[in-house]
Structure 1
């Protein structure tokens, strides 16, 4: 199995990270696995436990933080968010956590996808994994994707032993465009919208700072979702090719 590097995706809420991740997972289900973060916030309409987040109580979250069970964690708008260490670095076992559905894997399609693939949307079926399943994201032959904030990026970058990840920042073309997107969602209070905009400014300033530029391997401006996806794909195409080569070798050996 070729050594695969995790991919850490970061950017402000409303920048388009979720849409880009969905496109990537749909186009290359055999290549990626998504590490689902834990959060103490309440689910929004349409969100499913184990898909967008693992929704847990604040008490559970604080206990897991105290026990060192997160690779990174942060607090925003009164809620905690964290990436389980075990979801990325060791087998998902119930002895490590007692929360179900930490990460999910998409079932491979029958045909290989060719480059470039803008607009291609093959059907796929999500296969959910629980802590009871002895399954390791990297050992699955898929690239692990983490979606974290700027504080999480710094924590993962400085983690020891190093995760050897690839870091990508997704940003809006401007704060004004981001504000329009957030307000069009209609899912946040005025206070939370302003808080997200303030945090977005901080995140974007960090990504453009000398320290941020040392961390991030790519900065993608999402002015057009298809063009942003093409840039994301172009950055990851060599990694994707490795997963396809590994899977072909496994099929040939079976």
Structure 2
């Protein structure tokens, strides 16, 4: 802030200190603006009257100097001076994300006037704009002390009449562009511009531009590997001398969202053009696609991430080729360890893993079931159930003995008005205490086998000479009850239900480590095989190992279908986690495959 002073012998100095104003007592002739940090004022001498043609000019200047706006600006300036020497760093650079998390938590608590008011304030556009500006400043580290932009060069080669000089102010953020050598011309060109990065936001550097110089250093004789360190070490103003390319920028629908169905670490990918430009993600992360111009490497950003700069991810075509090469060894290994047919419906409907030689276990999938593509990316869209729509079908799956049936039982007991289950079919004789359509639907063996041929069963099996099975009709009836239908199935039965009609929410119940299994299940019991005298027995070390092996095999083959993975180390905690998750999918917006959208 400069101080202005008009020397007059006949009038005292009139002062604006930044927090107080003194109105002149005579004609406006002298003003002093004194900084509050005791800095020596910079004196500027000028006759004000000589520049004022009318009294209106004098009135205007006087009103401006005495106005509240200037008062507030000076006050803000004074406050900022206190922090300038301290050079404070932001405590948090993602306040928008923090506000979103807070809003989610407030939605889940009991409503009261305070929470309602806070939610209202957080939703105001002025508050959101303030948080957005805060995040932009804290992430980009704007510094007013950066050097001024250098002037344009006095001489430009005649043959380069289309050349342009681009100057970007570089901070700790990467420039957001990759380079390569053109195979036909040998020139260094911009291979891609990362959406949302510094180069993209400037609007001055585009894909296909030829890079001639960086800070005056010629680039013609350098390899891309030599140029990258030069750019990385550059600070402040970085001047690029480029020849504009002729390629038109790509336009893309920024509303394309995908769910990643595999883990990806760019630092471990030898094929990526630039490891630092890659975007690391985990299976289940929601990504927004911002560029598919490159058939091999897409540009994407993680949904909800405060950093708007996109990163490189493998395209679907590239990753499918990789999966095809790995499939025999990793992703589609047959479930050799899954020897148990288990719907989790009744204890008598279970077979021990030792019964595979004495019992015939048959599971068939009907014609027309949904095919599952290679687990790469799943295009998704936001979804929130409307009051007139049926509830999503909840599918629980996991290896035998992990606790799927017990979790389903606890859910049903906790709220029978909200949850329902399917009624299975069987060919065995009805016991005295059993009722038709309650415990089972009792049918003849001929009818059951006829329904098998007509593909009416989602799952079925044979135990001690009797058939047991779950029909698709029973699922339809349970869903029609206007309740959340709970169904535990083997993973290979999910495909038959993976449709827009059911919109299944698939929960995989996973065992903990074998050490934790030994502690948590040391006194628990598992169902025995039919050859043993007692119906249950204590878990053995072999049971634990089979459980973990089966879970890994399930996850390898069907993990792309699981929306939620719950590790059942403690049954009470697993139940609470599952119950909270099912509440969220009924009350909050979440993601579903775009193929489930209503046409």
Picking from 459, 477, 485, the partner of 1:73 is 459
> Could you list the per-position Cα deviations for residues 104-139 of structure 1 after superposition, in whole angstroms to 9, with x for gaps in the alignment?
xxxxxxxxxxxxxxxxxxxxxxxxxxxxxxxx4333
1:13 partner SS: coil
Counterpart position of 1:144: 485
Match of 2:555 among 198, 208, 212: 208
Q: How much has 1:202 moved relative to structure 2?
A: 6.2
Q: CA deviation at 1:42?
A: 8.7
State how far apart, in whole Å, the 2-side matches of 1:231 and 1:203 are.
Answer: 23
Q: 1:43 to 1:14 in 2, by over 3 A?
A: farther
Cross-structure match for 1:165: 504
Alignment of 1:36 with 2:423, yes or no, is yes
Q: Determine the C-alpha separation between the residues in 2 that align with 1:175 and 1:189.
A: 26
- 1:41 offset after TM fit, Å? 7.4
Alignment of 1:36-55 (within 5 A): 36-39=423-426, 54=441
Deviation digits for residues 194-222 of structure 1 (CA, Å, limit 9, x no counterpart): 9987974564124321x422111112121
Match of 1:238 in 2: 584
In the alignment, what sits opposite 1:114? none
Is the 8 Å Cα contact of residues 150 and 203 (structure 1) preserved in structure 2?
Answer: no
* Alpha-carbon distance in structure 1 between the residues aligned to 2:522 and 2:397: 17
Q: Which of 24, 34, 37 is the equivalent residue of 2:411?
A: 24
Question: Relative contact order (C-alpha < 8 Å, sep 6+): which is higher?
Answer: 1
> Offset at 1:149?
1.5
Q: Is the Cα–Cα contact under 8 Å of residues 36 and 51 in structure 1 kept in the other structure?
A: yes
Native 8 Å contact 1:172 1:222 kept in 2: yes
For 1:28 and 1:240, locate their aligned partners in 2 and report how far apart those are by CA, in whole Å.
15
Q: Give 1:226's match in structure 2, choosing from 572, 579, 588.
A: 572
Q: Which runs of 5+ in 1 are unaligned?
A: 90-135, 243-254
Cα pair distance change 1:187/1:146, threshold 3 Å: same
Post-superposition offset of 1:64: 1.5
Deviates more, 1:183-192 or 1:31-40: 183-192
Residues 201, 76 of structure 1: alpha-carbon distance in 2 compared, 3 angstrom cutoff: farther
Higher Rg:
2
Which one of 511, 524, 529 corresponds to residue 188 of structure 1? Answer: 529
d(CA) in 1 for partners of 2:578, 2:571: 10
Using the TM superposition, name which of 211-220 and 52-61 deviates more: 52-61
TM-score where L is the length of structure 2: 0.27
TM-score when scaled to structure 1? 0.58
- Equivalent position of 1:127 in the other structure: none
Structure 2 residue ranges without an equivalent (≥5) = 1-387, 589-599
The size of the alignment, in residue pairs, is: 191
Q: 1:63 aligns with which of 450, 458, 464?
A: 450
CA 1:73 to 1:146, structure 2 compared with 1: closer, same or farther past 3 Å?
same
**Contact 2:514 2:545 survives alignment (8 Å):** no
**Cα distance between partner residues in 2 of 1:200 and 1:140:** 34
Q: Hey, what's the Cα distance between the residues in 2 that align with 1:169 and 1:206?
A: 12
Q: 1:183 to 1:32 in 2, by over 3 A?
A: closer
Residues 1:9 and 2:396 are matched in the alignment = yes
Task: From the two aligned structures, give the one with the greater helix fraction.
Answer: 1
- Residues 399 and 550 in structure 2, CA contact (< 8 A), matched pair in contact too: yes
Question: Cα offset for 1:167?
Answer: 0.8
C-alpha displacement of 1:39: 4.6
